[in-house]
Amino acid sequence: MNLSAETLEKIETTIPKYPEKRSAVMPLLHFVQSEQKYISNEAIEWIAEKLEIEPINVLEVVTFFPYYRQEKLGTVHVRVCRTLSCALMGAYKLGDELEKALDCKMGHTKEDGSVTLEYGECLAACGTGPVVLVDEDLYEKLNQTEAVGPMLEEIKKRAQAGAATE
Amino acid sequence: MAAVERKILLKHADEDYYSPSIDSYLEQGGYEGLKKALAEKPEDLREAVKDSGLRGRGGAGFSCGIKWSLVDRKSGKPIYLICNCDESEPGTFKDRQLVHKDPHQLIEGMMISAFANDVALAFIYIREEMPLGAKILEKAIEEARAKNLVGENILGSGYSCDIVVHRGAGAYICGEETGLIESMEGKRPYPRIKPPFFPAVLGLYQCPTIVNNVETLCNVVHVVNMGVEEYTKIGRHGNTGTRIWCVSGMVKNPGYYEIEPMTMKEFLYDVCGGPLPGRKFKGCIPGGGSMKILGAEETYTDREGKSFSFDEIIVDYDGIAAAGSMSGSSGMMILDDSTDIVEALANITAFYAHESCGQCTPCREGSLWTKKITARMCTGGARPQDVDLLYDMAGNIGGRTVCPMGYSTTWPVQSYIEKFRDEFDSKAQANECGMKSFDERLIEK
């Protein structure tokens, strides 16, 4: 497994925080996915060995949680909340707009690997809907046209920056 | 006089002078409650929380003090405290405010609760969709540790306790306490069957475990600071303290409001500004997506046979229960006359179908079928008998599953149909296509 020194250090400091090693499976998956953009079979076996459990114990967690991916996520991960409050405020329309503006089909990753665009369930920011989570940043009140522009710029900027480093 | 907010938990959160840093919290008298608590006996603190009448703010509204009193203290095993910050009930966003804007209040509440229950290791289970919140909490814990408010020998009292932040990965079911515990153990979050797995006896690693909501733990700080007598003056009997209501949907001023019990009319008009211009309220989902809807035109009858209108419903645990629903996680979603009720239900059922963990057949299969039937009612292809089918099927889910999520699938379907049957019938018969109201309406403010 090829992981950065920083990620490895995070992993080493996290495991002893738990009374039982197996509890660290979620944080370890988070660390690996944030570096590699997905959870490979190699990663599953590596984590299993690290935590002294069977690979199936890691796989069952990976396949349960929507956040863990076995296919590579785009450089930028865009999640549009589609649950009721946001839907009432125009989340579906926003989703259509983003599909066009980013030239990316909803629920898919662009072929060049720059953007993953998908609907997500309630992001717990219902009072300011519709909302979108771009990687770790929340954008709110996106039924106002002037709010969408800056978000799109940021997404495109991050996608380009990602392409430049690869 | 117009009804107003009463800010206790959110007193400083949105003020200009305030930041999530420990200095800001200490300036406002932060951690005084912890100092006070450490000088008391743990059992006295537990008694105080029980006497305060503090009820859980996460959904069920169970007494926090009684929950603590059920903990098995004779087993000799360690006792764990877990803060449930897996806020994922549609319409709820109060924990987000508390965590992002005032993390130290939560940490102080956790440390007091941990001390009161002889806990040596506490966890915060925060949902994946709040990455910033997890960072803020981790930073706040480090700040508190540097000031000896978390960690070894806290403030020289001889008491030690640490807090670990644990991030979820996008599963609603982790908000259910036994599912959360399974997830903390590194497994799939399949809820456990009760009995025997009551967390107070057999929780995390089969040890006694307390799982409390963020807002509940924040309230503990104020119970200690104010004392039981002062605290119980807030709110009304059986509903002590303030509650933070999250208002979203078709209302003039959506947002989060910390209030004492008041009527629905006072709340929706004085506090939330009333309906959007030219619109009329159709109803409200009072406590997060899984709760039964309250119709705005409906007449309600309480247990004593007294009837009252939507406007007269008292916005607290017992008031909403008297109207036949639950205050749940206090996420209030408002629907108005422009909202298509069938589409609203289709949206909600899609959520629960997505979030069913799949352990119990009635919920796994039932939630999918409620989604499929409501979807075809909206997009064409429904049959007139679908309304009865949907209603009947939903009634066979709740109560037949390991965890209460079965009811989350049942209650919306049943209550929407009972209260807005005409709309369902006409939609099922018309065989029309298109999700109209969601697609075409863009709200301008």
Please calculate the CA angle B139-B211-A16 and round it to the nearest 5 degrees: 50
Given the DSSP bridges, would you call strands A132-134 and A137-139 parallel, antiparallel or unpaired? Answer: antiparallel
Second-level CATH architecture of B22-236:
3-Layer(aba) Sandwich (3.40)
Type of residue numbered A151: M
Instruction: Give pLDDT, residue B376.
Output: 87
Q: Which residue has the higher pLDDT, B445 or B344?
A: B344
Instruction: Give pLDDT, residue B3.
Output: 87
Q: How far are the Cα atoms of B109, B342, B412, B419 from residue B384, in angstroms, in the given order?
A: 53, 14, 20, 18
Confidence band for B432, pLDDT divided at 50, 70 and 90: low
Interval B295-314 mean pLDDT: 95
Q: Give the bridge partners for B167, in sequence order.
A: B126
Interval B387-398 mean pLDDT: 95
Task: Compute φ and ψ for A31, nearest 5 degrees.
Answer: -65, -45
Please determine, for residue B69, whether its predicted confidence score (pLDDT) is greater than 90: yes
Instruction: Give pLDDT, residue B101.
Output: 97
Q: Which residues of A touch B331 (CB under 8 A)?
A: 126
Interval B59-70 mean pLDDT: 95
| Helix, strand, coil percentages, rounded to 5, for chain B | 45, 15, 40
Instruction: Give pLDDT, residue B219.
Output: 97
Taking the CA of residue B313 and the nearest CA in chain A, the distance in Å comes to: 22
The position carrying tokens 């570096």 is A35
Instruction: Give pLDDT, residue B445.
Output: 24
CATH numeric code, A76-165: 3.40.30.10
Q: Which residues of A touch B336 (CB under 8 A)?
A: none
Instruction: Give pLDDT, residue B139.
Output: 98
Please determine, for residue B441, whether its predicted confidence score (pLDDT) is greater than 50: no
Residues of chain B with CATH 1.20.1440.230: 341-444
The residue in chain A having the minimum alpha-carbon distance to the alpha carbon of residue B207 is A19
The chain-wide mean pLDDT, for chain B, equals 94
C-alpha–C-alpha distance, residues B402 and B48, integer Å: 33
Interval B306-329 mean pLDDT: 96
**Contact flag B169-A18 (C-beta cutoff 8 Å):** no
Residues of chain B with CATH 3.40.50.11540: 22-236
Helix (H) or strand (E) holding A80: strand A76-81
- In 10 A of CB A166, how many CB atoms? 8
C-alpha–C-alpha distance, residues B419 and B401, integer Å: 25
Per-residue pLDDT in tens (0 to 9) along chain A, 166 residues: 899 999 999 999 999 999 999 999 999 999 999 999 999 999 999 999 999 999 999 999 999 999 999 999 999 999 999 999 999 999 999 999 999 999 999 999 999 999 999 999 999 999 998 999 999 999 999 988 889 999 999 999 999 988 777 6
Instruction: Give pLDDT, residue B2.
Output: 83
Instruction: Give pLDDT, residue B421.
Output: 96
**Contact flag A67-B187 (C-beta cutoff 8 Å):** no
**Of the candidates A61, A84, A89, which has its C-beta nearest B344's C-beta?**
A84
State in words which class domain A5-64 has: mainly alpha
**Contact flag B438-A90 (C-beta cutoff 8 Å):** yes
**Domain B242-336 indexed as CATH 3.50.50.60:** no
Instruction: Give pLDDT, residue B383.
Output: 86
Please determine, for residue B443, whether its predicted confidence score (pLDDT) is greater than 80: no
C-alpha–C-alpha distance, residues A86 and B140, integer Å: 31
Please determine, for residue B198, whether its predicted confidence score (pLDDT) is greater than 70: yes
R_g (Cα) of chain A, nearest Å? 18
From the number of C-beta atoms within 10 Å of its C-beta (0-12, 13-18, 19+), residue B445 rates as exposed
Instruction: Give pLDDT, residue B433.
Output: 52
The domains of chain A are located at 5-64, 76-165
Quick check: helix, strand or coil at residue A56? helix
**pLDDT above 90 coverage of chain B, percent:** 91
- In 10 A of CB B162, how many CB atoms? 16
Q: What is the pLDDT of residues B32-44, one digit of tens each?
A: 999 999 999 999 9
Instruction: Give pLDDT, residue B267.
Output: 97
Interval B10-25 mean pLDDT: 96
**In A41-165, which ranges are continuous DSSP H helix?**
41-51, 55-64, 84-88, 91-102, 145-165
Instruction: Give pLDDT, residue B431.
Output: 61
**Contact flag B289-A83 (C-beta cutoff 8 Å):** yes
Helix (H) or strand (E) holding B6: none
Task: Compute φ and ψ for B281, nearest 5 degrees.
Answer: -65, 140
Please determine, for residue B178, whether its predicted confidence score (pLDDT) is greater than 70: yes
**pLDDT above 70 coverage of chain B, percent:** 96
Interval B226-244 mean pLDDT: 96
From the number of C-beta atoms within 10 Å of its C-beta (0-12, 13-18, 19+), residue A24 rates as buried
**Contact flag B348-A29 (C-beta cutoff 8 Å):** no
Pairs of CB atoms within 8 A across A/B: 161
The position carrying tokens 């001889």 is B158
Quick check: helix, strand or coil at residue B355? helix
- CATH topology for B341-444? de novo design (two linked rop proteins) (1.20.1440)
Instruction: Give pLDDT, residue B438.
Output: 54
Instruction: Identify whether the C-beta of residue A79 lies closer than 8 Å to the C-beta of residue A132.
Output: yes
Residues of chain B with CATH 3.10.20.600: 242-336
Nearest to B298 by CA among B282, B286, B287: B282
